[in-house]
Amino acid sequence: MQVSSSIRPPLITGGKTLHDVTNDICRHVESKPNPTWLLAFGLSVLTLSYGLYNVYRTLWYGIGEWGLNKTVGWAWDITNFVWWVGIGHAGTLISAVLLLFRQKWRTSINRAAEAMTIFAVLCAASFILCHMGRPWVGYWPLPLPNTFGSLWVNFNSPLVWDVFAISTYLSVSLVFWYIGMIPDLSTIRDRATSKVSKIVYGAMSFGWTGGAKDWSRYESVSLILAGLSTPLVLSVHTIVSMDFATSVIPGWHTTIFPPYFVAGAIFSGFAMVLTLMIITRAVYKLEDYITIEHIETMNKIIILTGSIVGVAYLTEFFIAWYSGVEYETYCFINRATGPYWWAYWSMMTCNVISPQLFWIKKIRRSIAATFIISVIVNIGMWFERFVIIVSSLHRDYVPSSWAMFYATSVDVGVYINSFGLFFTLFFLFSKFLPVVNMAEIKSVLKSSSEIVPVSNSSSVHAH
């Protein structure tokens, strides 16, 4: 039924019909897990178990298991937290901002990107819980009455803002993701043959029938959720950056942080979406849905955000000198030439130089190159957070308290835990839920309407 326009190239290739879309996406949900999936899932669970052992050591023996000291009180924990929250931002950007801008190519990747957001935010939250030291009183940042053990929380503190921002972000993203999935779950329900999947997908699809009135409400809800999520996603990383920016630590106390963090978040998030989508499209044979055009478009966004991040790094350096503040200047010179020079220059190479390669069309359209650069970008973005956090802390105002941070095996283990958690959840999602939004794909199959003659419906079947 796909009717191709001579003017606009199709978003979905391979001349798919509506029924082909249903079959292609539902196939992996309905079939038995294949050996590759089982192997990948098994490895993730193994990684998660090793990680959980390290989480257990952190909780049982305390934060002393980590390499922190009196000078460097935040290191891998907050680095990993900011890194994962940043990665999460791309999902909301793709589903909300690109919806508002009517970018129809987003339909192939929004489902997986939103899932990635939710899992990444969960990983981020796990670091917040671990770094509290006493997670059993983890409810203290909530505004609970004094009889629960603490006073009312201090609403002037960005750390409290963060609690509200992250929990709102997680719950609103979850709702947005689920609403989009209801029509697709009903497709699986209507195709289900086994009793268990009939009951499970029947309950999960909330009795969706596809009536025009429901679609009209669904569209309203999606549009408003997109409108709400757009400022929300910007607020989340703004507030994360304020955890640093409202302090008086040289290297943190800068007004450039909110936009610089948001750009960095989109940058790393798109890189992570690319890494995951390149694997997913190969494993589930979705090459007609996630095409080279999609990859190229995302690479262009990576050039843009990567350049914004690059400009931010240079601006920071310039302002450190231009402000005339001795401590600020020292902090930046120390970042580039001090004991953490290797982290600084890894960050510069990975984030500022590597994405510039995408100016070359051949690289931007190459799957292998995109995959490698997307991984490099995320390594660079991890170093960025490490540099900001550790290099600003490790030499404070009194030279006698200068110190270094050395990660312990438990630090590494808790980081590995987040990968285990992320991939376990992602593989479960990709097996049991539709990885591509079928309903939205079907709505963009026709590149052009009104070219089908109304009376002669038999010609519609011509491919």
Partner 1 sequence: MSDNKHFILGVFDDEDVLMHAVHDIRHEGVKIHEVFTPYPIHGLDENLGYKRSRLPMAAFLFGMTGASLALTMMVSMNGFDWPMNVGGKPNASIPNFIPITFEGTVLFAAFGMVGTFFTASSLFPWSKPVIFDKRITDDKFVMAIDLSKNKFSKEQLSHILKSNGATEVNEKEL
**In terms of Cα–Cα distance, which of 359, 256, 350 is closest to 304?**
359
* 136 in contact with partner 1 (CB under 8 A): no
Tokens of 220: 């309203």
Comparing CA positions, the residue from 344, 338, 313 lying closest to residue 395 is: 338
**Binding piece for partner 1, criterion CB under 8 A, among 206-214, 259-267, 273-281, 384-392:** 206-214
Query: CA of 410: how far to CAs of 51, 55, 382, in Å?
Result: 9, 8, 18
Backbone angles phi, psi at 296, to 5 degrees: -65, -45
Residues in 177-196 that interact with partner 1 by CB under 8 A: 179, 182-183, 186-187, 189-191
**Contact range with partner 1 by CB under 8 A, out of 203-211, 255-263, 285-293, 398-406:** 203-211
Contact code string over 2-31 relative to partner 1, x by CB under 8 A = ---------------xxx--x---------
- Among left, alpha and beta (phi > 0; psi -120 to 50; other), residue 157 is beta
Is 168 near partner 1 (CB under 8 A)? Answer: yes
Considering only 31, 455, 462, 463, the residue that binds partner 1 (CB under 8 A) is 455
CA distance 139 to 169: 18
For 453, other C-beta atoms within 10 Å of its C-beta total 9
Angle at 54 (CA atoms; ends 50, 59), nearest 5 degrees: 145
Rounded Cα distance, 30 and 16, in Å? 20
Our CB check for partner 1 shows the closer of 242 and 376 to be 242
From 369, 375, 403, 452, residue interacting with partner 1 (rule: CB under 8 A): 452
CB 173 within 8 A of CB 229: yes
Tell which positions 270-329 bind partner 1, by CB under 8 A.
none
Residues 104, 105, 110, 111: what is their CA dihedral angle, to the nearest 10 degrees?
100
Among 213, 324, 326, 342, binds partner 1 (CB under 8 A): 213
100 is an interface residue for partner 1 by CB under 8 A: no
Q: Which is nearer to partner 1, 23 or 401 (CB)?
A: 23
| 142 contacts partner 1 (rule: CB under 8 A) | no
Q: Considering only residues 60, 136, 155, 397, which one is a binding residue for partner 1 as defined by CB under 8 A?
A: 155
- Nearer to partner 1 (CB atom), residue 155 or residue 397: 155
User: DSSP class of residue 32?
Assistant: P
Q: Decide: is 210 part of the binding site for partner 1 (CB under 8 A).
A: yes
Instruction: CB nearer to partner 1: give 118 or 165.
Output: 165
The answer to whether residue 45 forms part of the interface with partner 1 (CB under 8 A) is no
The pair of structure tokens assigned to 456 is 């002669």
Smallest gap from residue 421 Cβ to partner 1 (A): 25
| Shortest distance, position 199 Cβ to partner 1, whole Å | 10
